[in-house]
Amino acid sequence: MGRKKACILRVGGTNCDLETKVALDDLGLETEIIHMNHLLRGHRRLNDYSLLVIPGGFSYGDYVRAGAIWGKKMLSKFKKEIEEFIEEDKAVVGICNGFQVLVESGVLPGIDGSISEYPRATLATNSSAKYECRWIHLKYHQASSCRLLPDLDEDTVLRIPIGHGEGNFIVGEEVLEEIKREGLVVFTYCKPDGSPANGEYPYNPNGSMLDIAGICNSRGNVMGMMPHPERAYFGWQMPDWTSRGLQPYGDGSLVLKAIASYVERL
């Protein structure tokens, strides 16, 4: 049986596709970077893949809102294909701009298991009103509904970089209560000791409600996160590698390895 196949989708403005491919290839997946036009023209079929990754960058220049144009284009062009992909329990991951795209397309938060016709959340301008590019600490919530990260330990505090101007996760109170009730919060920003950031800057770098850094859908196979695990995949990418000794892999590898393990079991 051949290797599981991963599709990294890209459009104009995407800039983290190659780093993501290098990491997924290293994890044993057969990975292709595909421009969305190839799907639209029938040169590739989404159903041939087990993992769909929407990577970081500035799709279509982030005009209107970050991820808005790409999100609406996905929704209008192949909503049915994405719905079938999700219903087959295949994995969908959005990183940074990809997270914004999943929110703008209505794929996330996916509370009732379906794609909404309009966004039920937003990733707004950072509360600092500036682009934030820094290393942050991230806490994984094992009690969440996410099925993509079964190998991650609840007590693990990850150090992963961010790079965004619109990462402030905001929802209405009704949707927020649904997110909490369904256990959709996967990652939160935290302090170095793992304690909650409680909105304190710079531990929470963008002002996100409940310190949210990543969420999943109710089904648990779609996840979006603002931090970039592919930028912390190898040990030499970590900011303190000279002091702690060069390790083969960095903290981001824990996230991507867990996702790859889920895909391999499909």
Distance of alpha carbon 19 from alpha carbon 15, whole angstroms: 9
Asked if pLDDT for residue 242 goes beyond 80, the answer is: yes
Residues 30-89 have pLDDT tens digits of 999 999 999 999 999 999 999 999 999 999 999 999 999 999 999 899 999 999 999 999
CATH number of 5-264: 3.40.50.880
Q: What is the mean pLDDT of residues 158-162?
A: 97
CB burial of residue 199 (10 Å; 0-12, 13-18, 19+): middle
Distance of alpha carbon 84 from alpha carbon 87, whole angstroms: 5
Most distant CA atoms of the chain, gap in Å: 50
- Among the options 16, 96, 146, 216, which is catalytic? 96
Is the pTM higher than 0.75? The answer reads yes
Distance of alpha carbon 53 from alpha carbon 33, whole angstroms: 9
Q: Phi and psi of 61, rounded to 5°?
A: 70, 10
Domain positions in the chain are: 5-264
Residue 186 CB contacts under 8 Å (≥ 6 apart), including other chains = 140, 141, 144, 146, 149, 214, 215, 216, 223, 225
Q: What is the mean pLDDT of residues 130-134?
A: 97
User: Is 104 one of the annotated active-site residues of the chain?
Assistant: no
pLDDT at residue 56, as a whole number = 97
pLDDT at residue 155, as a whole number = 73
Tokens representing 174 are: 């009704």
Asked if pLDDT for residue 112 goes beyond 90, the answer is: no
C-alpha pair distances (Å), 254 with each of 58, 158, 209: 25, 9, 25
Q: What is the mean pLDDT of residues 225-242?
A: 96
User: Is 146 one of the annotated active-site residues of the chain?
Assistant: no
- Work out the pLDDT band at 246, boundaries 50, 70, 90: confident
CA atoms within 13 A on the CB side of 213: 27
Q: What is the mean pLDDT of residues 133-156?
A: 90
- Return left, alpha or beta for 230; rule: phi > 0 is left, psi -120 to 50 is alpha, else beta: alpha
Q: What is the mean pLDDT of residues 169-181?
A: 96
User: Is 38 one of the annotated active-site residues of the chain?
Assistant: no
Asked if pLDDT for residue 160 goes beyond 80, the answer is: yes
Task: Let me know how long the chain is.
Answer: 266
* Sheet with 51-54: strands ordered across: 30-35, 5-10, 51-54, 91-95, 222-225, 212-216, 185-190, 132-140, 157-164
- Among the options 137, 164, 190, 228, which is catalytic? 228
- Work out the pLDDT band at 1, boundaries 50, 70, 90: low
pLDDT at residue 9, as a whole number = 98
CB atoms within 10 A of CB 30: 13
pLDDT at residue 2, as a whole number = 74
> How many contiguous H segments (helices) and E segments (strands) does the chain have?
7, 11
CB burial of residue 157 (10 Å; 0-12, 13-18, 19+): middle
- Give strand pairing partners of 63: none
Q: Please give the helix or strand (H or E) that residue 92 lies within, else none.
A: strand 91-95
Q: Phi and psi of 68, rounded to 5°?
A: -70, -45
Percent of the chain with pLDDT over 90: 91
- Among the options 104, 132, 182, 230, which is catalytic? 230
